[in-house]
């Protein structure tokens, strides 16, 4: 099994309401992927509630049966479309992929 975790920190927002709206949009964009891609074993998204300088804002926590399926996901039209939709939201990201 492969765990794929992506964390995002928003970098461009006008205030807390704008930040919350952008995070809700991220959730809307990415949460549909497991419905569209049947080979995803598990997929969760979450908006962080911890307020700290070192905290990230949004997480995607997903599981695939192997590296090939992770690559298939990353190259899928559905994933690429989601990334494109979210491209207007200013953010940085970190990724961790590991086998277990």
Q: Could you tell me the mean pLDDT of each successive run of 10 residues in the chain, 100 residues long?
A: 98 96 98 98 98 96 98 98 98 98
Determine the 3-state secondary structure of 24 from DSSP.
helix
Return the pLDDT at 62: 98
For residue 95, being part of any structural domain is answered with no
CATH number of the CATH domain containing 50:
3.30.70.100
Q: How much of the chain is helix, strand and coil, in % rounded to 5? A: 40, 30, 30
For residue 58, being part of any structural domain is answered with yes
For residue 99, being part of any structural domain is answered with no
For residue 78, being part of any structural domain is answered with yes
Return the pLDDT at 58: 98
User: For the chain, how many structural domains are there in total?
Assistant: 1
For residue 48, being part of any structural domain is answered with yes
Q: Which domain holds residue 76?
A: 2-90
Return the pLDDT at 64: 98
Tokens of 68: 């090939």
Element (H, E) at 62: strand 58-64
For residue 29, being part of any structural domain is answered with yes
Task: Name the CA dihedral angle for 36, 38, 44, 45, rounded to a multiple of 10 degrees.
Answer: -20
């Amino acid at each position: 099994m492969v765990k794929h975790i992506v964390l995002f920190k928003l970098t461009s927002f006008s205030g807390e309401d704008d930040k919350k709206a952008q995070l809700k949009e991220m959730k809307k964009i990415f949460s549909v992927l497991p419905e569209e891609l049947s080979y995803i074993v598990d997929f969760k998204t979450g908006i962080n509630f911890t307020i700290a300088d070192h905290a990230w804002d949004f997480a995607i926590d997903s599981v695939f049966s192997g590296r090939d399926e992770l690559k298939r996901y990353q190259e899928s039209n559905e994933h690429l479309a989601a990334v494109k939709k979210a491209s207007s939201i200013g953010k940085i990201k970190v990724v961790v992929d590991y086998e277990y």
